[in-house]
Chain A
Amino acid sequence: MSLVNFTTREITCKIVYYGPGRSGKTTNLQYVYSQVPAERKGQMISLATQADRTLFFDFLPLDLGSISGFTTKFQLYTVPGQVYYNATRKLVLQGADGVVFVADSQLRQLDENLASLQNLQANVLEHGVDIRTLPMVLQFNKQDLPAELILSPPELDDALNFRGLPTFSADALHGPGVFETLQGIAASVLRRLSEGGGGIRRL
């Protein structure tokens, strides 16, 4: 749950980038890290294998600045996408205030996207959270690839977006869509704080 310090007027939120292996979760964070000025970001930590695949998580703290008089900080995490790392994926999800699901737009990755979405739902449920109340956005990454290799955003929306969530087309390697995705999830998470009440519903 978002931490709110009323004395120093600070908010800290945890955002998790989720999705199948090689969909571009770490690339999203690397792009954000490369664009943000030094005084607005902390150290980026990547717990990766020797082959640079995420083993546990990537972590990037960001200072968003003042929002409604509160200094707002976001902690961005990624999970490892490979199926066999589910135990660690579940751990990183713990206490998430919002999720960015990074889908791989390639036609041949559609089944992996669906399996990862189902896995997300199961893991969120294991933490006792009703996924329908968890702020979430979908990113359709790799839209820069040749059209014959990928599904279009409307096709991906039909296949993956059962909840009618906000969606963003992206090319995380070069940047388009990365900022918009972060903006989308930040707005969804902070909207919770402007509504009050219980926020994320525990089952």
Chain B
Amino acid sequence: MSTTSVVEAWTEKPLVRYVDQAGARLVVVMTTAGQVLAQHGFVRAVDLMAASALGAAIMASSAALAEQLGERSFGALFHAGRRHGIHLAPCPTPRGALIVLTVFGRETSIGLVELFYEEFAAALRQAAPVDQVREPVLATDFEADLNRSLSSLFRR
């Protein structure tokens, strides 16, 4: 089943449109630290958290290798497998540098993914807000909750 989850609402409209247009199975928008900002598609295709950590690591190591070689960046990369392909690309936005992982199957092609990715990246850039100063999120007395949660996590 296709599902959508977004941490920041501005990503949703361009994301859903991109998945439909490109015929992708799953698209994950993540920060360069490997945290999922949004995803749309068949989540059972992959472990989202693990995919994000690995995707961010691939992009970070590619960028570091580019720097070693005196290149500004290597841009997008893709891998084709027997049943799935992945397209992994950086996406600079006013919200900060993001990374987009597209997982696709045989029903589409890398050409289509690349074509619609450019539109998607532009739409994300346009929709992204500039970072704002964050208000307090948690209550000041959160520590009792934290201790209770960790105790249950470690079955104490």
**Chain A residues in contact with chain B, CB under 8 A?**
1-5, 7-8, 10-12, 14, 35-37, 40, 42-43, 45, 47, 56-57, 59, 61-68, 70, 72, 75, 77, 87-88, 90-92, 94-96, 179, 182-183, 186-187, 190, 193-199
Contacts and interface: CB of A to CB of B under 8 A. Distances in A.
Contact of B33 (A45, A94, A198): A94
Contacts of B61: 56, 88, 91
Contacts of A36: 153-154
7 contacts: A2-B137, A10-B7, A37-B155, A95-B35, A183-B150, A194-B137, A198-B133
Q: Is the interface of B mostly helix, strand, loop or mixed?
A: mixed
B142 A194 contact: yes
A70 B49 CA distance: 18
B35 A3 contact: yes
A3 B57 contact: no
A35 B140 contact: no
Given A7-B9, A67-B146, A179 B139 contact: no
Given A67-B138, A196-B133, 16 more contacts: A3-B36, A4-B7, A45-B54, A64-B153, A65-B149, A68-B142, A70-B137, A70-B138, A72-B149, A91-B64, A95-B33, A183-B147, A194-B139, A194-B140, A196-B135, A196-B136
Contacts of A14: 33-35
Contact of A75 (B6, B34, B60): B34
B139 A68 contact: yes
A65 B8 CA distance: 21
A35 B154 contact: yes
B139 A75 contact: no
A62 B53 CA distance: 13
B152 interface: yes
A95 to B, nearest CB: 2
Contacts of A88: 61
A72 B133 CA distance: 21
Contacts of B35: 3, 12, 14, 75, 95
Contact of B138 (A65, A91, A190): A190
Contacts of B134: 4, 196-199
Nearest to A195: B136
